[in-house]
Structure 1
């Protein structure tokens, strides 16, 4: 409502470039035998983005989370306000006919609607999936660096959920600088584009980030090379 049609188009183009980068990375990963069987499919329409995983192998789950994390942080860097939800389950896709349906789409949408900060929150189906893949999850070097479980700002109140840890991806990492200050500076920029109730997303994001930082439950270093 605040931006012109051209401004919105430019913002969506930035996200499209991030999408292309993820798809290129997927093919390179295959060549290098890293996540050799992992793949995702990204659909965007209007102001919504839907990311589908190839299947629910744990390898694909990791690659899916890394991709969502990159896309989300890229939006924040470009001053594009975003929130999301992730869910697990059976999806049917027909790319040619552009048919996409399945309960996880509804579950992810409903949890996203309730999210009250700049973040990606997991539906309970993700909890169930992690429980079934407990050994893989426990032995993963990625999961403890990319997910956190904490009381989450939702419109219905603060409720404990699994969330995606995207914060460090929003800045250029420098071990000699204060990462926390740089991330808060990025988030504070959104105050220049929103007033009143819309600012609650900024406040809630900063409050959650500071709380996680004080508890040392947030990752403030890049992921180790795979």
Structure 2
């Protein structure tokens, strides 16, 4: 049988079981429907591509797309929207983008392959609300993160803010590429209105922090740290390079 290499984004909603136990079923259904409605709005441009697929099951979200430059851009933008919208609706999550063999058959609910296993296992290690890149897509991040130039006007499209820096895993801070989702505006533009976007995300995290105690607050604290470091690195690179930014960013 031939290879069926795809990008896979697997994300897990944090605290979902506790939320089910303490929220009236009808209210939770309304909250979840509102989340899905806003996610559909963010995903809308991506859905023009037949290869872009999204599935929700219980506390997990699965997004897949083809192994191309455009597929990389779509799944990266989807990941940024997934983080922003979920935090706004107080459904914080963590997830991983990977690339390997994968079968996605929506009609008979058949989803399996190494890409999903890789994403799931790394997702289990993440200790903040964010999207981490599995090593299987690191080469593509280096090739595709800075986007492409449009032939007709020379404008750069498809830029995605990946950063290489230490991030919180359960075993400690370990250097990984991750998506700096606070550097993408609500209009899906990378590097635009970053202060506004950052402040909005911080306000959502503060609201989430006000609803939890103990371990869940560790996730909030570590997320705030990563977002602030990402914003700081972006501004430092922008200043150092006279306003020009080339992703992915790192301090190496």
Higher relative contact order (CA 8 A, sep 6+): 2
Q: Could you tell me which residue of structure 2 aligns to residue 115 of structure 1?
A: 126
**In the alignment, structure 1 residue 95 sits paired with structure 2 residue 129:** no
Higher strand share: 2
Change (3 A) 1:107 1:46: same
5+ long unaligned stretches in structure 2: 1-17, 149-155, 239-252
Alignment of 1:104-143 (within 5 A): 104-130=115-141, 134=143, 136-137=144-145, 140=148, 141=156
Would the aligned equivalents of 2:185 and 2:197 in 1 still touch at CA under 8 Å?
no
Give 1:7 shift: 3.4
Q: Could you tell me which residue of structure 1 aligns to residue 83 of structure 2?
A: 72
Q: Could you tell me which residue of structure 2 aligns to residue 49 of structure 1?
A: 61
| Counterparts of 1:115 and 1:217, CA distance in 2 | 25
Length-normalised TM-score, structure 2 = 0.71
Change (3 A) 1:23 1:103: same
Q: Could you tell me which residue of structure 2 aligns to residue 34 of structure 1?
A: none
Change (3 A) 1:145 1:101: closer
Change (3 A) 1:167 1:219: farther
Q: Could you tell me which residue of structure 1 aligns to residue 243 of structure 2?
A: none
Higher helix share: 1
Find the partner of 2:229 among 211, 218, 226.
Answer: 211
**In the alignment, structure 1 residue 186 sits paired with structure 2 residue 204:** yes
Give 1:69 shift: 1.4
5+ long unaligned stretches in structure 1: 31-36, 221-226
**In the alignment, structure 1 residue 11 sits paired with structure 2 residue 11:** no
Find the partner of 1:150 among 150, 165, 171.
Answer: 165
| Counterparts of 2:54 and 2:196, CA distance in 1 | 34
| Counterparts of 2:29 and 2:236, CA distance in 1 | 33
Change (3 A) 1:77 1:90: same
Length-normalised TM-score, structure 1 = 0.78
| Stretch of structure 1 that moved more, 67-76 or 206-215 | 206-215
Change (3 A) 1:112 1:7: farther
Would the aligned equivalents of 1:165 and 1:219 in 2 still touch at CA under 8 Å?
no
Change (3 A) 1:10 1:208: same
Would the aligned equivalents of 2:98 and 2:133 in 1 still touch at CA under 8 Å?
yes
Give 1:89 shift: 1.1
Between the two proteins, the alignment pairs up a number of residues equal to 207
